[in-house]
Amino acid sequence: MTSRETEIDSAVIRRARSDEAPKLAALSRRSKGYWGYDDAFLSACEKELSVSEAELAHNPAYVIEESGRVIGFYILQPRSTSEVELTFLFVEPVEIGRGNGGRLMRHAISTASNLEFRTMHIQGDPHADGFYLAMGARKIGTRRSQSIPERELPLYNIDLDVREASSDLQSE
């Protein structure tokens, strides 16, 4: 076992608490900043990067924690009885590339499947394209940014029925 695997194994995923909203909003801004966006850009995205107590209380929201320190999180927001959107998935900049984002993503997919959603929608950052494709997402188009005029953001879908059926076949 490598030291990287040991570090990932010591991390725990748990439900996010409503009182963590300000901490998670700050984490999302730091994580977005990892990609070289300047302060003006990040300020323009402030509304999209903010996390409310209500979002955490009323949606499936989870953090990954290591040694009592939150190092990442995700939030799922139901769009219908069969569709859910991954509205947040952020990891502390020093944790990017260490496997914790993938672990959160696999947990989000499992959570959505267990809640009987059939499709997960994702609006990603262009820098995360390879990550979402590696996690099994299919690029389906773009959506105009709510914060930055003329900026197009990639859209992805994950067909949770297909993932569930393929995992059933692998377990047989």
pLDDT in tens, 1-36: 343 444 456 899 999 999 999 999 999 999 998 888
Question: Bigger pLDDT: 9 or 113?
Answer: 113
- Identify which has the larger pLDDT, 169 or 146: 146
Indicate the number of domains in the chain. Answer: 1
Prediction pTM value:
0.86
Name the pairing type of β-strands 12-15 and 83-91: unpaired
Q: What percent of the chain has pLDDT over 70?
A: 88
In the block, tokens 């929201």 appear at 61
Which domain, by its residues, includes 124? 3-171
CATH number of domain containing 125:
3.40.630.30
Would you say residue 122 has pLDDT above 90?
yes
d(CA 143, CA 83) in angstroms, rounded, equals 17
Question: In sequence order, what are the beta bridge partners of 154?
Answer: 142
Distance separating alpha carbons of residues 16 and 20, to the nearest angstrom: 7
Q: Give the residue-averaged pLDDT of 46-71.
A: 94
- Closest residue by Cα to residue 74 from 113, 37, 105, 32: 105
* 144 residue type, one letter: R
Q: Are 152 and 139 in contact (CB under 8 A)?
A: no
Q: How confident is the model at residue 148 (pLDDT cuts 50, 70, 90)?
A: confident
